[in-house]
Amino acid sequence: MEGAVVGRLRRRQPRPLNLAPAGAAELERVKAAFDGRGSDKSSAVDYTAIYASILPSLPADPRILEIGIGTNFEDVDSSMGPEGVPGASLRAFRDLRPDATVFGADVDRRILFSEPGITTHWVDQLDRSSLAALRSQLGGQFDLVIDDGLHTRPANLNTFRTLFPAVRPGGWFVIEDVVGSTIPFWEQFLAREQLAGEVFDTRSERNDYDSVAVVIRAPGASAN
């Protein structure tokens, strides 16, 4: 499985991060956690290798924030549909890093919840003041921030501009489900902003549209 997954990560960014490939056991563990919780991160899209590399690299007691809990109400943009499981990936991250404090945020108040190790909060990605208020409310720095929310360029940029400064030195910011046709924009964005990052294109016959993730590492002494 290891070679198959890593082989599908076609690195498109000219300033590579050189993510260390995860071993087969870690790949299996991450996929099992996502699939077991009903997350699509290893099924509809394929980010197994990304998170199998990032999650073990996080320090003890990491703080993880994911924007986009995954509403299944179809009156909301970017709904997963009635079969979706809100909070699935939050629970998978908690399973994979039991020492983590996991935060989630979404525009749909109906799916917010709280349970051991996880709290969720309201946010509107199209309103930077809302994102700033979320950052202030949660306080501190984050070791991993994931944008799996609205999946539009304005929302992505608002979220990055507001929350990337809250990522600790050497921490990670991941923008998921980028449409393949926008890969050149994101490559140019990374270069223009002088960011350490890569665009990972994991499109396949299963999903040849938006199984693409932008992975960015915050500068600082902890990065290697």
Nearest residue to 168 (alpha-carbon basis) of 189, 199, 146, 140: 140
Report the sign of the C-alpha dihedral through residues 143, 107, 200, 93, in that order.
Answer: positive
Q: How many CB atoms lie within 10 A of CB 151?
A: 18
Token duo for residue 153: 């360029």
Q: If residue 133 lies in a helix (H) or strand (E), which one and from where to where?
A: helix 128-138
Catalytically annotated residue among 31, 151, 168, 217: 151
151 a catalytic residue: yes
Q: How many CB atoms lie within 10 A of CB 205?
A: 5
All residues at 6 or more sequence positions from 150 whose CB lies less than 8 Å from its CB, including other chains = 68, 77, 78, 107, 125, 126, 156
Token duo for residue 9: 């990560």
**Measured distance CA(197)–CA(175) in Å, rounded:** 11
**Measured distance CA(176)–CA(77) in Å, rounded:** 16
Token duo for residue 130: 């809302």
Residues annotated as part of the active site: 151
